[in-house]
Amino acid sequence: MLIEGERITDIARKIGVSRQTIYSWRNNDEVNAELDQRRQDIKTQGNAYILKDITTYIDTIKKIAKDGGDKRVQFSANKYLVDRGLGTPTAESADDIDNSNNNVNENELEEQLKKFRQMHVVK
């Protein structure tokens, strides 16, 4: 019941103990270990259930990436597939950035923006 998110008051009422008894149990290392084990079992079962149909999910995402009507949905599906295949890009840390040239060429930025706007989603 704790794992399912029921309120302490409701659990105490259902099993006929005080709320303080439930709180005492929650502070017990053995009880916490059992709760953690049961949570892990639930996650494992859930993952196994999802993995059973994973090819269907991937095929659906690929179909949306190719044929989805909404460009935002297509983009999201394509981005997801690329990130899964190549890894999710990470931001550079401040230490990795070279700040020696702080001058920005506005013409170059305009050109880059124009190229970006002309990009198409790969199907």
Lowest mean pLDDT among 86-90, 108-112, 116-120: 116-120
**Residue 39 or 121, more confident:** 39
**Residue for token digits 């704790």?**
2
Give CA torsion, residues 56, 57, 60, 64, to 10 deg: -170
**Domain limits at 81?**
53-86
Domain for residue 1, yes or no? no
Q: Are residues 14 and 47 in the same domain?
A: yes
Span 72-97, average pLDDT: 73
Per-residue pLDDT reduced to its tens digit, 101-116: 556 677 777 777 777 6
Q: How many domains does the chain have?
A: 2
Q: Are residues 47 and 27 in the same domain?
A: yes
16 pLDDT above the threshold of 90: yes
122 pLDDT above the threshold of 60: no
pLDDT of residue 98: 57
